[in-house]
């Protein structure tokens, strides 16, 4: 969630959060936008930060994905500059492409190393401030959230459960009435079931289109990230008590 900063000043991150009315408990990180362009994690909330009038503080909770957050920040900084220098423009394009792939399940083993090489060069060689900020943001994010980002590549999972490409769909035994609405809505043969049986999603066929979730009148279909609910491998008689 974004909070507008209306006064240029220097204060601690904790004081800035309090001033903006943001509850620091449970936050994973905050990002203070350009020209500060810096991430802070709870361990660094006591540090001083110089903020500009018109800047933004973005708060990341435990269910926010830092890979997706970094991609958004890279693209915001790219859109804010018309710089065409090699490191600012091409470097920004490369980093946005790599992070876009990582967030859409197309990350490759060498992506982290490539970003670790490219980001510091951008931070020192880009002509525009925004280009240098992209380099700094990527380096900082890899240091602070490298493990979370890397799991998108190596484990094909989004630990925060936020990236759509990594979400899986599940039908809860406790809620399904076996009405069949989801089966009708799914166009990819990804649901098994028959009347009065708890339906089951075939993960390898699911394309995460969300149609079943929208069609279910019982709220029996949920999405999950790294922690999946237990569901039966094949349809079983409905257990729900009316």
Residue ranges binding ligand SF4 (CB under 6 A): 169, 171, 176-182, 185-186, 188, 190-191, 193, 199, 201, 206-212, 215-216, 218, 220-221
For CA atoms 118, 130, 106, 201, the dihedral sign is positive
**CB closer to ligand SF4 out of 60 and 169:** 169
Least separation in angstroms between residue 63's CB and ligand SF4 is 20
Of the candidates 37, 32, 45, 47, the one whose C-alpha atom is nearest the C-alpha of residue 123 is 37
**CB closer to ligand SF4 out of 37 and 221:** 221
**CB closer to ligand SF4 out of 142 and 173:** 173
Least separation in angstroms between residue 180's CB and ligand SF4 is 5
Least separation in angstroms between residue 178's CB and ligand SF4 is 5
Least separation in angstroms between residue 157's CB and ligand SF4 is 17
- Cα end-to-end span (Å), the chain: 39
C-alpha distances in angstroms, 212 versus 30, 87, 151, 205, 222? 35, 45, 28, 13, 10
Contacts of 191 (CB under 8 A, 6+ apart): 171, 182, 183, 199, 200, 201, 202, 212
Least separation in angstroms between residue 139's CB and ligand SF4 is 37
Of the candidates 13, 67, 17, the one whose C-alpha atom is nearest the C-alpha of residue 36 is 13
Least separation in angstroms between residue 170's CB and ligand SF4 is 10
Residues 181 and 215 sit within 8 Å (Cβ to Cβ): yes
DSSP state of 59: E
Size of the chain in residues: 242
Q: In whole angstroms, what is the distance from residue 50 CA to residue 158 CA?
A: 32
**CB closer to ligand SF4 out of 2 and 188:** 188
Residues 161 and 229 sit within 8 Å (Cβ to Cβ): no
């Amino acid at each position: 969630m974004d909070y507008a900063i209306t006064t240029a000043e220097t204060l601690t991150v904790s004081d800035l959060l309090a001033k903006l009315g943001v509850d620091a408990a449970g936050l994973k990180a905050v990002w203070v936008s350009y020209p500060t362009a810096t991430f802070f994690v709870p361990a660094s909330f006591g540090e001083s930060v110089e903020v500009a009038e018109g800047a933004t503080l973005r708060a990341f909770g435990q269910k926010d994905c830092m890979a997706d957050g970094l991609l958004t920040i890279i693209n915001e900084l790219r859109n804010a500059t018309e710089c065409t220098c090699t490191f600012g423009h091409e470097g920004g394009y490369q980093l946005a492409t790599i992070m876009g792939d990582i967030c859409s399940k197309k990350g490759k083993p060498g992506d982290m190393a490539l970003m670790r090489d490219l980001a510091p060069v951008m931070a020192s060689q880009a002509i525009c401030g925004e280009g240098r900020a992209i380099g700094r943001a990527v380096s900082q994010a890899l240091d602070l959230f490298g493990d979370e980002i890397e799991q998108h590549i190596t484990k094909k999972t989004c630990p925060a459960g936020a990236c759509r490409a990594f979400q899986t769909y599940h039908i809860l035994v406790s809620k399904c009435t076996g009405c069949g609405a989801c089966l009708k809505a799914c166009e990819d043969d990804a649901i098994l079931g028959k009347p009065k049986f708890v339906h089951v999603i075939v993960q390898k066929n699911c394309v995460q289109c969300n149609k079943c979730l929208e069609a279910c009148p019982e709220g029996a279909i949920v999405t999950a990230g790294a922690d999946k609910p237990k569901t039966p491998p094949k349809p079983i008689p409905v257990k729900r008590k009316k």
